[in-house]
Amino acid sequence: MSRACGRVDIDIGRIVTEFLCLLVVAGFVALLFVLRAQRTNRKVRMSCGECAYKTAWSPKSPAEATLVGHYGQRHPGIAPSGLLEWRQ
């Protein structure tokens, strides 16, 4: 369906279709940002591969630093290893 507006021929159907596509893309991008924010805020707990030590629930980087410090104090010369648990 098109209407003549002065000298310009406007295709209403095309405008509506493009607008809906724009909304879908914007919604998808917003969803990606929300999912990324949720993923980065998730808490982890790391456990030592040599003993029963476990870090507190925290973001991944501080948990890794805590486990590396534990290995430096309790298991010098051994590379850090163990399990990683995710809490949602």
pLDDT in tens, 33-87: 887 766 666 789 999 999 999 999 998 889 999 999 999 999 999 889 899 998 8
Confidence band, pLDDT 50/70/90 cuts, at residue 28: confident
CB 84 within 8 A of CB 46: yes
Determine the pLDDT at residue 36. Answer: 75
Query: Measured between alpha carbons, how far is 34 from 82 in angstroms, rounded to an integer?
Result: 30
Tokens 């000298």 correspond to: 7
pTM of structure: 0.54
Domain boundaries defined on the chain: 2-40, 43-87
19 and 11 Cβ atoms separated by less than 8 Å = no
